[in-house]
Structures are given as C-alpha cells and as structure tokens.
Structure 1
Amino acid sequence: MDRQSRGPVAANPTGDVGARHDAGWRRTEERAVRAVFDATSRAWRSGDADAFVAWYGEDATVILPGACLKGRDEIRAGMAGAFAGALKGSTREHAVLTVRFLGTDAAVVVTRSATSFPGEVEVPGERWELATWALSRRPGGWLVEAFHACPEAAGGPDRRD
C-alpha cells in the first residue's frame, strides 16, 4: 500500500515516524490530561492540599515567582499553608491552550491560568499567567511532574504553535 492511500502520515503515539496517527488515542489521552486540571482546580477550590498534590508526581517540581518547591511533600506543605492563609477561599482557573504528547507517556501542556479571590467578579488582567506543565502517564493516570508559571504579557498570550 502506498503512502497516499493510507491517509495522513504523522508520528503516532509510539513515535514511529511514518505511521498513521491514532486520533482516537490522542482524543482519549487529551481528555485524561485535561482532567488533571479539572481535578486540581476542584481540590484548590476545596482548599484540600492532599487532594491537590495527589495529581503530582513524587519528585515533582513547582516553580513560581520567588519559589521553587521540590517534591510532593514540599508542594503539599506549601499549598496547605497557602490554602490556610493567602489563598483561603480562592479558586484556580486553567484554560488549556495546547497539549503536546512526547510519545505515549509524557505530555507538555500550556495553560492560561489565574487565581480568583472571594468576592471577585472578574480576575484582574495582571493576575493571569501562562504556565508550562510536564505530565507523565503512570499506572492510574497522568501526573504533574513539573510546573512553571510566569505573568502573561500585556495583550494576552501569543498562541502561535
């Protein structure tokens, strides 16, 4: 069978060049990756640091302006303190801009994210961030392995791929 008759040629999830891309696999896994952001947002809204870090790898890294948290225990402690203090009653919103799979067990995700505080009708523009997430597929699902956020530039994200 020639290339033309097989349909679009792309790297499939196993990285085999020239193999037909499995769109069903991608849709299923992208839904599973996006579910991580829904779950962490629910845990944030509940102020539940344990539920929040359940979606992070044991050796995950979180880099925020002025902070680098290493490992699930450090992330849990940081979030528990924040949920009891400055982030009490807040919510976290993530708009997934891109999901890029690196084989079958790793994904890079870019989000536009913001924290909303009690009583706010709208998140102020200067509080929006662009974030990069590295996720790995483990038994039981996808986990965050690395997170880095920075303030969004004025005028919104550059969505060129």
Structure 2
Amino acid sequence: MPATATRWGNATRILKAAGVEEDTSYYRTFDSENEKAVLSVALRIQAAWAGNDANAFADCFAANGSLLMRNDQLKSREEIRAYMAEGFRGIFQGAHVQGGPLSLRFLSDDVATVVTEGGIVLAGASGVAPDRRIRATWVIVRGEGGDGGDGPQLLSHQSSPIS
C-alpha cells in the first residue's frame, strides 16, 4: 500500500463522535491510523444497520454520494436517507449486516477504495444466508476538515452478489 502523507483522522475519535463503539477486530490486518480511519466508515454503516437508523446510514455518505443496492441506484445522501428509511420500516426492519474488509488501497491522499465481503442478516436469522452474500466496493474520500477531523465520507458503495 502506498503511504499517504495526509491524516485521515483518528478512528476512535470519529466513531466516538458518531456514538459508535469501536470494534478493533474489524480492522483485521489494516492497522495504520489512516487505514483504521477509512474503515471507520464501514463500522458506522454496520452500527446504522444494527440500529435501523436511516439518518446515521445516510450521514456516512458525502452529499453527492452514490449507493447501488439491489436494483436501485441512489445518487445523493438524501435519496439514500429516504430509501433506507423506507427499507428499515419494511423489508430491512430488524436486519443488520455482517462482514469485513478484504482489501484497502489509497488511490491518492484524499481517496481510498475498500473491498468487503459479507451481507445482510434479516430479522430472526442467525447469519448471512448464502443467497444474500455480497462483495462490496467502497470509494471513501477524506473529510473536508483538512486533517480528516470531520471523518472520512463514503462517496460510492456498490455491492454484488457472490456464491
């Protein structure tokens, strides 16, 4: 992984500010401060799913963020917020996600990509059903605070089913 000279922030502080408990096991082998700050986005997304909180979910995205989920392409934070609010009242009520990072790469001082594997665990299920397993690509941008103080933001998230 190329080193990035720019600080992305402190994962512990980013998560605390979002009201999310840090699960250090999620980081796996990605243990630099910048890598952990980037992965704080995924931890915030998991916490939003666990709480069925559409606002917390959408707030992980940049204002012009994009989410491709199932057959729906959402093109802004507000579209994402509305979609997830409807989902958490309907098909995703009581659902949460499980998974973890497979790769993380800094494309520049301000952009990173992450590939994760996991899936949605529907209410009452004990794990990700085989037909719900996905691999996801995340494009994460450094927060606008200059030193990453406001935390990384999700610019694009796309998931694909795997078998």
With normalisation by structure 1, the TM-score equals 0.78
CA distance in 2, matches of 1:117, 1:63: 19
Contact 2:99 2:119 in 1 (8 A): yes
CA distance in 1, matches of 2:122, 2:142: 32
Matches within 5 A, 1:103-122: 103-122=108-127
Contact 2:134 2:159 in 1 (8 A): yes
Confirm whether residue 55 of structure 1 aligns to residue 60 of structure 2.
yes
Confirm whether residue 147 of structure 1 aligns to residue 152 of structure 2.
no
Deviation at 1:124, TM superposition (A): 1.5
Structure ID, larger Rg:
1
Matched AA of 1:144: L
SS in 2 for 1:147: strand
Aligned match for 1:12, one of 3, 10, 29: 3
Could you tell me the percent identity over the aligned residues? 30
CA distance in 2, matches of 1:31, 1:147: 18
Contact 1:37 1:94 in 2 (8 A): no
Partner of 2:136: 131
Matched AA of 1:13: T
Contact 1:99 1:109 in 2 (8 A): yes
CA distance in 1, matches of 2:123, 2:72: 24
Deviation at 1:55, TM superposition (A): 0.8
The one-character-per-residue Cα deviations of 1:23-46 (angstroms, maximum 9, x if unpaired) are xxx700111111111111111111
SS in 2 for 1:141: coil
SS in 2 for 1:100: strand
Quickly say closer, same or farther: Cα 1:11–1:88, change in 2 above 3 A: closer
CA distance in 1, matches of 2:62, 2:39: 16
Partner of 2:14: none
SS in 2 for 1:39: helix
User: What residue ranges of structure 1 are gaps of 5+ in the alignment?
Assistant: 1-9, 15-25, 155-161
Partner of 2:20: none
CA distance in 2, matches of 1:118, 1:55: 23
Contact 1:32 1:142 in 2 (8 A): yes
